[in-house]
Amino acid sequence: MIGAQILTPDERLLLLSLYLDYSQLSSFSCSIEKLVNEHPASRKSITAFFKKMQFMNFLKVEKSYGTRGPNRYFFTEHCHQWRETDSILGSITEANHLMYSKVIREPCEPIVRRNEDIKLSNSNRFLLLILILKSDSLGRVSSLSISELSKLMGVSTGSIKLRIKALKAIGLLSVYIPGCSHKAIFGKSKGVLILDVMNAFISDLFPKASRLTANMPNFYDSDFFGISEVSALLAGMKTIHLTFNKYDFDFNSIKKLFDKDNRGAKVNVHDHLQFVICHFTSIYLIEYWDQIGTSNEVQPIDESLTLDFLTPKNVIVNDVYVDFLKLISLWIHRTAIAHKFLLLFQYGVSFRPKSMLIIPTKKLNTHFSKFEVVFEAHGKYQSDVLSVGVDGEICSAMGNTKEIKFDEFIGGLYSYLVTI
């Protein structure tokens, strides 16, 4: 007996592959070997798929009795109607299907981890397709929760989390920040997924995106930018060394506010808050690019603006919460300054971004941190990776050279930051 009339992610991907090849033909023949070669599946599972398509009245078959030729099939009207109602399959049309053909069926180079090949399975390929369809032009997916992805895929939330880990392991997904609930800060928030738009398997779908990565000694982060200091405070550090000249914050009270109602998910809350800050830093940079870091700048970001962005409906807006917003505003401001200076340093003073996605800063080890920004700009800019040594010298993955050391360049940034 063939199972219930529900298509698995693998079957939806196979049906989509068939539909893109043959939907315009009155009938078609397709060998088992063709699908086995295009998709990592066994002959047994492909044969079962064809039987299920006939059972569900999606395919009709004309058997090739007395000949050696393959059976001929044709799509039923029921299949056409069902495809149009499927939110994912219905998004792939004649007009755009060539864009997604690579994701649907072309081979993806496996990643070798611990002497094991990690491959892109059909079901994980289908999840990747969903994420691409739901992402913005920089690869960010912030509109779907895990439960919503579960419904779109037709699998459990636990299965979705395992598939997300698989996409990260293969290198197609660069960031996953789980959703969380924190009434005292920003209420209930959905998870965020960020595709690696520079991965060769999907980069063609994000043709205008570029990326700048800078691997820098941690002392630059602490001394000049202050990002890790504020981050460490919210993560649980007891003391903070960063000086804010214009504000006298009650850090202990802010820390208590952050710890309140975290429901044991402090890591998720902290990671999500970092993403929120990076998200609004990206918006701030696009809207005020020419003013940031100049004498015409409105600084720091008004905490009332952050209040509108960040505050959940039922939060108690007291003096401590306003202090918290001021601290976040300053963090946004410093993050904006750091990334603007990095982009101008690499691409020159004429650089202007059209859209931007700042990736949360990562500590690579005890000595180095990674700054990363994905962007679209006026004109195409080459992606690059900068490595800044402890002596301030800069190496570029693309072979670009700089006549000045990074600490000479950053000195102007530090002189500016200590005034805010």
In a domain, 90, yes or no: yes
Q: For the chain, how many structural domains are there in total? A: 3
Q: How far is CA 219 from CA 31, 358, 420, in A?
A: 61, 20, 19
User: What's the pTM value of the predicted model, to 2 decimals?
Assistant: 0.85
Task: Give yes or no: residues 48 and 168 share one domain.
Answer: no
Is the link from the previous residue into 107 a cis peptide, with omega within 30 of 0?
no
Task: Give yes or no: residues 109 and 198 share one domain.
Answer: yes
Sorted by sequence, the CB contacts under 8 Å of residue 39 that are 6+ apart come out as 13, 14, 17, 46, 105, 122
In a domain, 4, yes or no: no
Strand partners, 118: 111
Looking at residue 266, what is its pLDDT? 56
In a domain, 166, yes or no: yes
Task: Give yes or no: residues 162 and 79 share one domain.
Answer: no
351-372 b/e (C-beta count within 10 Å ≥ 16 → b)? bebebbbbbbbeeeeeebbebb
Nearest to 105 by CA among 39, 40, 157, 44: 39
Task: Give yes or no: residues 240 and 363 share one domain.
Answer: yes
The pLDDT tens digits of the residues spanning 113-138 come to 655 556 788 999 999 999 999 999 99
Nearest to 347 by CA among 239, 220, 210, 252: 210
Task: Give yes or no: residues 123 and 53 share one domain.
Answer: no
Task: Give yes or no: residues 314 and 346 share one domain.
Answer: yes
Element (H, E) at 61: strand 59-62
Looking at residue 2, what is its pLDDT? 37
Report the distance separating Cα 205 and Cα 200, nearest Å.
10
Sorted by sequence, the CB contacts under 8 Å of residue 358 that are 6+ apart come out as 278, 279, 281, 282, 285, 335, 339, 372, 373
The pLDDT tens digits of the residues spanning 392-407 come to 677 777 766 555 555 5
Nearest to 329 by CA among 293, 303, 366, 358: 303
In a domain, 14, yes or no: yes
Task: Give yes or no: residues 246 and 120 share one domain.
Answer: no
Q: Which domain holds residue 155?
A: 104-205
Task: Give yes or no: residues 308 and 413 share one domain.
Answer: yes
Task: Give yes or no: residues 357 and 234 share one domain.
Answer: yes
Ranges of residues in the chain with a pLDDT under 70 are 1-5, 64-69, 110-118, 183-184, 186-187, 219-249, 259-268, 294-316, 390-392, 399-420
Q: What is the CATH number of the domain that holds 138?
A: 1.10.10.10
Of 176, 205, 234, the residue that ends a domain is: 205
In a domain, 2, yes or no: no
